[in-house]
Amino acid sequence: MLHAGALAAALCLDALSARAENTARPIANPFEGRADVVDEGRSLFNQYCGHCHGTNAFQGERSRDLRRLKLRYQSQAASVFYETVSNGRLEKGMPVWKSVLNDDVLWQIFTFLETVQTPP
């Protein structure tokens, strides 16, 4: 019985370690630097996001102004974007988009957003 308990503990530690490794990996935009997806990203943004975040991301309300992602989150901007869009922020009115939009669409939108960031 002791061996079964030790085995179960080892399996739990392995699972936790694997989960930690998966969450520790940085989230990266697979379309980074690709000018050929910016127009499609803009169109997708306006279709799905513009009603709250403004046409072409021009929104005067600071909390919804996505032109400030790099200023706010710096090197974590891609991760914050992906996690927020994927999981939503229901308490702030941000819906969960992961079940509606696939990863390619999300990253095309982010690629567009990278082109409209407010300089520091």
Q: Would you place residue 71 in the very low, low, confident or very high pLDDT band (cuts 50, 70, 90)?
A: very high
Q: Which segments of the chain does DSSP mark as H helices, in order?
A: 2-24, 38-48, 50-53, 69-73, 77-87, 103-114
> Would you tell me how many other CB atoms lie within 10 Å of the CB of residue 112?
24
CATH topology of domain 29-114: Cytochrome Bc1 Complex; Chain D, domain 2 (1.10.760)
Between the CA atoms of 101, 105, 107 and 113, what dihedral angle is there, to the nearest 10 degrees?
Answer: -100
Is the pTM here over 0.95, yes or no? no
- Give the distance, in angstroms, between the CA of residue 54 and the centroid of all CA atoms in the same chain: 18
Quick one: average pLDDT of 49-69? 90
Query: How do residues 84-111 score in pLDDT, each as one tens digit?
Result: 999 999 999 999 999 999 999 999 999 9
Query: How do residues 7-43 score in pLDDT, each as one tens digit?
Result: 444 444 444 344 444 445 668 999 999 999 999 999 9
